[in-house]
Structure formats: C-alpha cells, structure tokens
Amino acid sequence: MRLTLTRTKRWGARAGHFGILAAFVAFTAFPFYWMLITTFKSTLDLVNTANNPFIFNSAPTLDNLRVLLFDTQYLRWILNTLLVGFLVVIITLLLAVPAGYSLARLSGRWGKQLAIGIFLTYLIPPTILFIPFSRIVGALGLQDSLWSLVLVYPSFTVPFCSWLMMGFFKAVPHDIEEAAMMDGLSRFGAFLKVVVPLSSAGILTVVIFTLTLVMQEFIYALTFITSSSQYTVSVGVPTFLVRGDVYFWGSLMGACLIVSIPIAVLYNFFVDRFVAGFTVGAVK
C-alpha cells in the first residue's frame, strides 16, 4: 500500500512538472506562432472579426512577404543593423573588457566607488540625452549617417558591459594570473592568454546584450537618420508598414519573425553562458 502511494505521488509530481513545463513552453512559443500564422494570412482573413484568429480561415498567402521584401528596403535595413551592431560590439569589447579588468583589480574604496559611478551612467534615460548627442553629431557632420549610431550607442553599452565584465574578472582567482606571470608571461600576456579565455561567458554576454540593444533601439536611430536607405530595422519597419491608421499586420509580423528567430536561436544555444554572465558572483 505504501509502495503504491509512493508511486502515485511520484507520478503526480512528474505530471505536475510536465504540466508546468508544457504551459511555460506554450506561453513562450505563442508569440512566434502568432507571428508565423499572421505572416501568411490574407488581408481579408485578418480583418474579418468573425474568423478564428488562431487558424487559417482562408488559403495562406505570400503577399505579405512580397510587400516586405520587394516594396520596402527591408533587406537593406537588416544589413544596416548588422553593420552597426558589428561595429558597436567591437568598440564595446575593446573598451569594456579592459575597463572591467581594471575595475576588478583596483582594490580599495576608490575602486568600488568608480565601479558604481560607471554603472550609474547606464541608468541615465536615453530620452534626455538625444538632444545633446544630436548637437555633437551635427558638429561632427555625421547627420543621416550610420556612423552617428556607431558613435552614440557605445555611450550606454560600455558602462553596463564594463560593470558586467568586472564581476566576471573578480571571479577569476589572482593565483592563476600570478602562476602565468611566474611562467614568463607579462601581466598583459596573462590577461590575454589566461583571464580572457576564462571569461568567455562574460564576453559572450556582452556580445548578445549589445546586438540585442542595437536591434531594438529606436530613439537615436529615428533622431539621427532621415534617409530610408540608412534606416535600421527598428525604424524602417514601423515607418513604412504603418501608414496613418493603416497597419500592414502581415508584413509587420513577417519582419518581426525574420529578425526574432536568429536571436531566439542564439539565446537558445548559449543560454547557459548568458545566464552565467548575469549571475556570476551572486553565489561564491
């Protein structure tokens, strides 16, 4: 009797876990399903309120993708976004990684205060900075240029990523560096050959965070860019697919789906390292 009760409890616990997991998977996967089905729905199917919104009530169509790919400069916007993202990632890594290492090795009260000060700069709302930034961009002659975004975006990626990398470098024991220097490496050599490889999870976190931020940033891209050929995805899609009170829902969902799938795959493959990058140092 006891054995049967134990088995019943075990199967009940498993069923409960499976149910919670299934509900979570359905909740997280639903936006992708909604974007996918809306992308291939016809306009009449979308606007008819009598239709079931979760299924195809009429034959699927590729017209929404045709509008997106051929009636707009969507592919150009993706290339612009990738170019800006690549350059901002390089700049962020070149500045944040050495800064984070310096802050991690700078002991005493000044080191902590400087780290807090750098992080606090990230908390400044971007909406109050675009006016002074626009004056700087105008003085440099970078209006309507992707270089304006490359110049501005590191102003809020570098502070946060420096603080993030500082936590990772603090988790690397000093003894490893000292052993490497005893073997003949300089401090810079030990940093490149020992500390940086051990902090690969933090570096990957910086890359993912920076790319995600560049792809979703709207205010600066809207302020500094005026030519449609220079738009990024976050500005080009709502500008050309929302005309007054007319929303091209199928094309909008197609644009979101194409951009979100690579990001979701990237997060899925490196989720362990990404979570480790944000939680390092929380538990010692």
Q: What is the CATH number of the domain that holds 196?
A: 1.10.3720.10
Q: Are residues 29 and 131 in the same domain?
A: no
Residue 33 lies in a domain: yes
Output the CA–CA distances (angstroms, integers) from residue 210 to 121, 130, 133, 146, 234, in the order listed.
16, 19, 19, 16, 15
Percent of the chain exceeding pLDDT 70 equals: 90
Q: Are residues 123 and 42 in the same domain?
A: no
Among 146, 148, 151, residue whose Cα is nearest residue 81: 146
Residue 284 lies in a domain: no
Which one of 46, 61, 76 terminates a domain? 61
Task: Output the pLDDT for position 95.
Answer: 92
Instruction: Give the model confidence (pLDDT) of 68-124 as tens digits.
Output: 999 899 999 999 999 999 999 999 999 999 988 888 877 666 767 777 777 777 777
Which one of 13, 28, 61 terminates a domain? 61
Residue 99 lies in a domain: yes
Q: Are residues 116 and 213 in the same domain?
A: yes
Among 29, 65, 39, 223, residue whose Cα is nearest residue 143: 223
Task: Output the pLDDT for position 275.
Answer: 60
Residue 161 has pLDDT above 90, yes or no: no
pTM of the model: 0.82
Among 111, 137, 135, 133, residue whose Cα is nearest residue 124: 133
Residue 169 lies in a domain: yes
Structural domain range at position 50: 2-61
Report how many domains make up the chain: 2
Mapping DSSP to helix (H, G, I), strand (E, B) and coil, where does residue 247 land? strand
